[in-house]
Amino acid sequence: MTHLPQLALEDVGKSFTLHLRGGVRLPVLSGLSFTVRRGECVALGGPSGTGKSSVLRMVYGNYRCDEGAIKVRDEGEWVDVASATPRRIIALRRRAMGHVSQFLRVIPRIGALDLVAAAGRDSGLDFEAADARARELLGRLNLPARLWTLPPATFSGGEQQRVNIARGLIGNHPLLLLDEPTASLDARNRAAVIGLARQRRDSGCAVLGVFHDAEVRAALADREIDLGRFTRVVAAEAV
């Protein structure tokens, strides 16, 4: 099971065109190719602004991919996110990839535990299993039980981030995308996240992440890809 490629980027390029700013084109990346295998954790590196989060978002289908292919393995079949239909991407998100974004963005007025369990049900767990797994994850992430029934809108940044992590991890997807998962966490919770991510990697999950924290990167990443090499030269005068 392990060592099979789970994600392959081939000659990926991305730029943003800001039509409301006179059509300014912001190049982000070009010619980016790499593979992530099951059971390994790859860190995206490079100075800020080199498109690390954009790569994660493109893999998840949240940003458009302008050039190249982004292939994700889904039960023995390769699916190119860059050209797949929305329906296919939704199925991929359910079965094949989990995403922990930098900021929690969820349906309002729903309690934390329900939000996490709903993500589990989306990925195919039945009601009881989703509920049990959500409790287990929130427990391991040290989210105080008194918060579980409350909507996270009023939570601290660190508490929201842990709800977000639980949502991303509950599905047991073969590909996990982590965008600064420990940015607003204290040492104890950072360790909890490292533990969970390692466990997933060691059980054969392919992990692709952005980790600014050197300690987290050293603890998780098997290798690093420096996006600086693929960054398009930004014509500063145009911006």
Partner 1 sequence: MTNVPLLSVEGLTMRYGTRTGCADVSFDLHDGEVLAVVGESGSGKTTLLRLLAQELAPDAGRVRYRMRDGGVRDLATLDEAAQRLLARTEWGYIRQDATDGLRMSVSAGGNAGERLMAIGMRHYGQIRGAASDWLRRVEIDPARIDETPQSFSGGMRQRLQIARNLITEPRLVLMDEPTSGLDVSVQARLLDLVRGLVTELGLAIVIVTHDLAVARLLSHRMMVMRRGCVIETGLTDRVLDDPEAPYTQLLVSSVLAA
Strands (E), 128-237: 175-179, 206-210, 223-226
Which tokens belong to 95? 């079965």
- With CB under 8 A as the contact rule, the residue among 9, 32, 45, 57 that binds partner 1 is 57
Task: Note whether 42 and 62 are within 8 A (CB).
Answer: no
Amino acid at 28: V
Asked if 20 touches partner 1 (CB under 8 A), the answer is yes
Judged by CB under 8 A, which of 48, 75, 77, 86 binds partner 1? 86
By CB under 8 A, residue 64 contacts partner 1: yes
The region of 35-43, 102-110, 161-169, 218-226 touching partner 1 under the rule CB under 8 A is 102-110
- Whichever of 45 and 61 has its CB closer to partner 1, that residue is 61
**Which one-letter DSSP state was computed for residue 97?**
E
Is there binding between residue 132 and partner 1 (CB under 8 A)?
no
Strand partners, 14: 29
Per CB under 8 A, the segment of 5-13, 42-50, 83-91, 207-215 that binds partner 1 is 83-91
Minimum gap (Å) between residue 81 Cβ and partner 1: 10
DSSP character string of 23-35: TEEEEEEEEEEEE
Query: Is there binding between residue 90 and partner 1 (CB under 8 A)?
Result: yes
Report if residue 153 touches partner 1, rule: CB under 8 A.
Answer: no
Residue whose CB is less far from partner 1, 20 or 214: 20
Core vs surface per residue 46-75: b (16+ CB within 10 A) or e: beeebbbbbbbbbbbbbbebbebbbbbbbe
Binding-site ranges for partner 1 (CB under 8 A): 16-20, 57, 61-64, 86-87, 89-90, 107-109
